Each structure stands twice: as structure tokens, then as C-alpha cells.
Amino acid sequence: MLNEQGYHIAVVGATGAVGKKMLETLEKKNFPIKSLKLLSSSRSAGNKIEFKGESFIVEEAKPESFEGVQIALFSAGGSVSKKLAHEAVARGAVVVDNTSAFRMDKDVPLVVPEVNEADIANHNGIIANPNCSTIQMVAALKPIQDKYGISRVIVSTYQSVSGAGDAATDELKQQTQAFLNGDELKPELLPVAGEEKHYPIAFNALPQIDVFQENGFTFEEMKMINETKKIMHAPELSVAATCVRLPFFNAHAESVYVEIDDENVQVSDLQNAIANAQGVILEDDPTNQVYPTPLSATDKSEVFVGRVRRDLDNSKGFHLWVVSDNLLKGAAWNSVQIAESLVKNNWL
Amino acid sequence: MLNEQGYHIAVVGATGAVGKKMLETLEKKNFPIKSLKLLSSSRSAGNKIEFKGESFIVEEAKPESFEGVQIALFSAGGSVSKKLAHEAVARGAVVVDNTSAFRMDKDVPLVVPEVNEADIANHNGIIANPNCSTIQMVAALKPIQDKYGISRVIVSTYQSVSGAGDAATDELKQQTQAFLNGDELKPELLPVAGEEKHYPIAFNALPQIDVFQENGFTFEEMKMINETKKIMHAPELSVAATCVRLPFFNAHAESVYVEIDDENVQVSDLQNAIANAQGVILEDDPTNQVYPTPLSATDKSEVFVGRVRRDLDNSKGFHLWVVSDNLLKGAAWNSVQIAESLVKNNWL
């Protein structure tokens, strides 16, 4: 494991759904690591985790934990990031934060490397990883924006439970079995842990992800709206979102309507732009029933796009179906990509 | 059962998912029936079905079956309707057809009673029942169209498997249990029976309902587009649809973006219009996490609307979440409503 040319890395939230995927991704992509610190809440401290054949003991995350750390990947919830990210930076670490704590801060770059890698250079110690449903959408839209300009986006999401953590995955499993057995469903977590009401997710669809804002949109929807504008450097872009939690375990899908600036673009032009984009794979052949699904995208790093077609009434309008693994490109892999970029470009 | 003031009724496809719901609905709504004929393919002929405490034997549907029938409710697939609907009409029956066989025919009214009941008067023996996903959307849009005018609709659907029949419901059940047991999934039916490829529906999302058309839209999507314009008498209305099959058993949900003609309308105006509409129930209180879901709408006749909010960029744009039981309002109940209207208005 030890790599003298590697870096001192910490993973905060190492026992969570995303933290585990971060470790898998660091291992799979062979990220150069000189030392690895696995951090968590006091509740999970003491757990053992295997990494590249070595056993690591999870420690409670404290300010002192970050002494000597060069890159800290945070994914332990916004309150932990707010408490500890600046402590890590004060001790010399660069933080890649996978919570919403700093995403909209003016001096914090919000980065999807395929879209705005150069923004990383302007970091002041913290780089934010966007919301999962935002990442896959902007990765799919970027090649279209670059070639044809985009003015408007309306998205409806189909989001898996793993975005709400391991407990939500367990809840879907348990409720599903209970439903099949004819037993009563006892929702305790979804749509939002900590909210007053809980609804069954098994064989259902919940039009609420995160808490409602005063304007009637949920916080998840506002994340998609605001983060998209920031990542794409497009404050004037119109973005609307409806976010829905669905009974599948992994990967998010999105029905995206996009208006471009040029009305002479053909479907094949858009397909070519998408097919040639970095990190994006076109899976679009209706004649042969080829399109991505949550199951087909699971465990893959890329963003998959299918169902590209022109609106029948607006020649500047197109519809897309965008699918990606929310724990990988939507979280762990995007964070590790940011870490790779920090290293490759000497932006640490 | 026998009601001397009632009508001679036939149900074609009586053993199917919708046929069974038609019988339940006729019974529940106490439709006046003098005689009842249950018809099906030869495969299901001979089955016994209970109706109002009496046992009926299902007969094979043939041209002669319709002798003496006044109202025939068809839901046995388009090919059966094409073969037998005109035979029924020739024998004096009025056909309420729940397939896509005649929906776009110029001389066949396509009816959602809350929207265009008066069109029934112009029938020439056949009245078409619209596609399930269309019915609930136009019911929700009608009060908005009436009060404020609408120019554009973009919908992404969240559709249950029961719309694909009992076999699809069985497939979801079996695959779900297999998935939980860690067994291999063996898709044999969805997304479309008869198509070459089949994909797992358990814990997945399939962006294909019905077969693809040359323009890249599926037939289900084109049904929503074309039927909406016809029912709402709005040939100039822009409609776009993305239809997705999801792993729940019953009720369809829809994320609907609608542009109205008047930019001074408030969210509360739209909510009031919806709340006062016939057959539509407003369930919209974000502060208390009140919104409809497929499970909450199951076994109910109405269309439920929640998440009403104004687009953040377009003051004429609004977003809605529309949910209804696809077997009831989306099929059986809408057909029985048409039959009730035929009787009530002496339009037989």
C-alpha cells in the first residue's frame, strides 16, 4: 500500500455509503497513497476496514486528526464538514467535501472535472463536490453547452435510495420483503431522516428529497438549480427541477429537457457531441432498444445518455435520458477525480 | 343483480387487469345492469367470475356475442377491438373502447368526462377511452386551461407495471423476490411484450413504454402528445412526454411542467382552480409534507395533484405532481363514467 511517491490521505465518513465507495475507488484507480487515515463519528470509531489487503482501524474525527494530512475527502454530512473542514485546512490539508456545506460559497470551487476542472486552481483549501443528481446532468450537458450553447433546462429525476445512505438501502430492502409477505410497512426514515412524516418507499414514488424551501421546491431541487449554474458558469441559465425518490437501490436517472441556442442542430449532432465527451457514454439506439437504466449503470464510473430526441414543437428543444451511479460519478469517483487533478496539476 | 330499468352490458376482456377493475367499478358504482355478458379470448372462456353475488361464466367473444347488447366495454387489446368493435356496433351496441385502436379516428370521440363529456354526443357507435397516463394529466390540466389558458406541457411519467397487465405485475413480484434472494433475474416481458429485448424491472427504471416510433419517441409518449391535443380541443398546444416504467405495482405519477397564457396568476390561483375541479383532489401542503404518491392514490377514483409551484425563471411556468390509479381513473372508472354519461344523457 505504502507508496513513497504518494500522498497523506484522510477519508472522513469512511464507514458510510459514500465513504466505502471512496475507498473502493481509491484502490481501483490506484491513487498514490503514502498514508491513509480513516475517520468517522465516535459511533463508528474502532471499526476495521480492509484497504489493499491491509487492515485499518477507524478513528474518531477530531481537529488533530488532520495533522500531516495532504488531502482530506469528507463525506460525513454537512455538520461534520462545517465543524472540521476548516480545521483540516488550518493544518495544511486540502479538503474535497462531498456535502452541501460549502458548495455555494463564493470562494469554494464546485467542480465536476469534465466540466470545470480549471476552477480547482482557485481553491482556498476547500473544493466542493456537487450533489449527485447535479453531477451527472452537467456532465451530459457540458458537450452540448460547449458546441451549441444552452439556455434552458427542465429536469425530472428518478433517484435511488442509496443517495440517502445505507440506512435507506436497508429500509427499502426490509419494506420490500414486508410488502411481498403481506406485512404492514413501517416507514421510519424516508423521504427525509429527521422530518416529521415518513412514507413507504417500497413499490412507491416519493416527490420529496431533502426538506422543502419557502418557494415550494425541495432543497435537493434547489441544489440542482443553483449548483448547475455555478458549475457551468452560467448564472443566466434557466434551470427547473423535480426530484423524486424511487424504489431502486442504486444509480439515478434523469429525464432532461434542454433548449439550445442554435435551431439548425440535428439529433445526430447532439449524439456526436455527447459520444465524444469525456466521461460520458452514448447508449442510444431505439431500433435495438438500447438505452441506459439504473441497473445497467451501476458500478460504472461514467455518465450514460440515451433517448436523445428533438422536441416536436420547439426546434431548439431536445430530450435526453441521463443515468449514472450516484455513489460513483455522483460522489466517490468525482471526489477522487478532484484529488487526482489536485495532484496532477500541482494544485495542492 | 337484475335491474329491469337497467341496461344490457358486455365486458370484453373480462379476465384481464382492467376488465376485472371494470366489473369491480360497475358493482361499486351500482351501474344499472339488466344483463351482463362477460367475454374474453377462447383461452379464458369457461372461467367463472363473481359479480354482485352471482356467478358468471366467461364466454369467447364472437360477433354474435353482441346481439342484444346495449353497451360494450372493450379492454382486450387493440387487435380484439379492431376485429369486434364494429361487429358490436352493427348489432346495436355502443362501444366504450379502452384500447388505442380508434382513439385518433376523426369520427370517434376520445373522452375524459371531466374534460370533454359533450363530445360523447357525437359518437357513431364507438367512444374511445384515452391512454391511462393521458387521462390523469388532462383531468389535472383542464381547470387550468379553462381559467388561464395553457400553451405548453412537458411531462415525465413514473408509471406502474399494472398498466402492462397482470403478467407484468407477476413479473415484478417474481423478479423482486429473486433479487432479494440474490438469484438471477430473468426478464421475459417488460418493457414491451413481443419486443426482442427484455430488461429487469425489479429495482430498475425502463425508459421505454410501448414500441419506438421513427421520431425517437415511444408510442406511449406519442399517445400522450396526440391524445392530449384531441381531448383538450387544442391542436396548437405544445406537448412533450417522456414515459418511464418503474418498479411499483399500481398508480402512475407525473412530473408536469405547464406554461399558461397569463403571467399574473399566483400558485394559490392554480391550487384553487385544481381544488374546485370535478374528479380532482388537491393534496398540496409542503410544510406538512402533504403530496400524493402511487400508494396513497391506489384504489381511489380521483386524480390527485400536489407540488404546485411556480417556475423560478418563467413567470408563466408552473410545475405539478399528478398521481392517479391507472386501472381506475386511467381505465375502468373512466370507461364506466362514459357509460354513465351515455345513459344519463340519452346518448345511447
pLDDT in tens, B144-180: 999 999 999 999 999 999 999 999 999 999 999 999 9
The verdict on a CB contact (< 8 Å) between A242 and B321 is yes
Q: Does A327 touch chain B (CB under 8 A)?
A: no
CA dihedral A258, A259, A261, A266 (to 10 degrees): 70
pLDDT at residue B4, as a whole number: 82
The identity of residue A116, as a single letter, is N
- Hey, are the CB atoms on A257 and B208 less than 8 Å from each other? no
Q: Is B245 annotated as a binding residue?
A: yes
B154 and A294 within 8 Å at the Cβ level: the answer is no
Which residue stretches of chain B have pLDDT < 50?
none
**Per-residue confidence (pLDDT) for residue B248, from 0 to 100:** 98
Q: Any idea which residue has 456535502 for its cell? A: A99
Q: How confident is the model at residue A30 (pLDDT cuts 50, 70, 90)?
A: very high
User: Each residue of A129-175: pLDDT tens digit?
Assistant: 999 999 999 999 999 999 999 999 999 999 999 999 999 999 999 99
pLDDT tens for each residue of A240-293: 999 999 999 999 999 999 999 999 999 999 999 999 999 999 999 999 999 999
**pLDDT > 90? residue A3:** no
User: Looking at beta carbons, which residues of chain A come within 8 Å of B239?
Assistant: 312-313
Sort out which chain B residues have CB atoms less than 8 A from A253's CB and list them: 205, 207, 244
Please compute the mean of the pLDDT values over residues A214-220 and round it to a whole number: 98
Interface test with A, best of B197, B293, B315, B321 (most A CBs within 10 A): B293
Shortest Cα distance from A242 to chain B (angstroms)? 7
User: Residues 255..274 of A with a Cβ closer than 8 Å to B: which?
Assistant: 255, 257, 267
Per residue in A66-104, pLDDT (tens digit) is 999 999 999 999 999 999 999 999 999 999 999 999 999
- Among chain A residues, CA nearest to B312: A240
Peptide bond into B187 cis (omega under 30): no
For chain A, what percent of residues have pLDDT higher than 90?
98
Cβ-based contacts of A195 with chain B (< 8 Å)? 289
Contacts of B28 (CB under 8 A, 6+ apart): none
Please report the domains of chain B, with CATH numbers, ordered by start residue. Answer: 7-130+331-344 (3.40.50.720), 134-326 (3.30.360.10)
- Quick check: A216 and B288 CB within 8 A? no
Query: Residue B15, annotated ligand binder?
Result: yes
Taking an 8 Å cut-off on Cβ atoms, the answer to whether B200 and A152 are in contact is no
B78 is in an annotated binding site: no
Cell digits of residue A260 = 439550445
Residues 201-230 of A with CB under 8 A from B: 203-208, 212, 215-217, 225
Which residue, chain included where needed, has cell 397482470?
B166
Q: How much is the pLDDT for A175?
A: 98
3-state secondary structure of B242: strand
The Cα–Cα gap between B103 and B118 comes to 16
Residue A127: its pLDDT value, please? Answer: 98
Q: In sequence order, which residues have a C-beta less than 8 Å from that of residue A257 and are 6 or more positions away?
A: A152, A153, A154, A155, A311, A317, A318, A319, B154, B240, B257
Residues of chain A contacting residue B310, judged by C-beta atoms under 8 Å apart:
215-216
Where in the sequence numbering do the catalytic residues of B fall?
Answer: 132, 252
Q: Indicate the residue type of A342.
A: L
Phi, psi dihedrals of residue B50, rounded to the nearest 5°: -85, 135
Q: Give the whole-angstrom CA distance, residue A229 versus residue A151.
A: 11
- What is the rounded distance in angstroms from the CA atom of residue B216 to the CA atom of residue A314? 15
- Once rounded to an integer, what is the mean pLDDT over residues A211-240? 98
Q: Does B288 touch chain A (CB under 8 A)?
A: yes
The single-letter code of the amino acid at A9 is I
The pLDDT value given to residue A4: 82
For the segment A301-330, the average pLDDT, to the nearest whole number, is 98
User: A1 pLDDT exceeds 70?
Assistant: no
Average pLDDT score, chain A: 97
- Smallest Cα–Cα separation from B171: which of B144, B201, B145? B201
Q: A257, B240: Cβ pair inside 8 Å?
A: yes
Q: Are the CB atoms for B144 and B150 separated by under 8 Å?
A: yes
Q: Residue type for B313, please?
A: D
Name the pLDDT band for A116 (thresholds 50, 70, 90): very high
| Res B102: pLDDT | 98
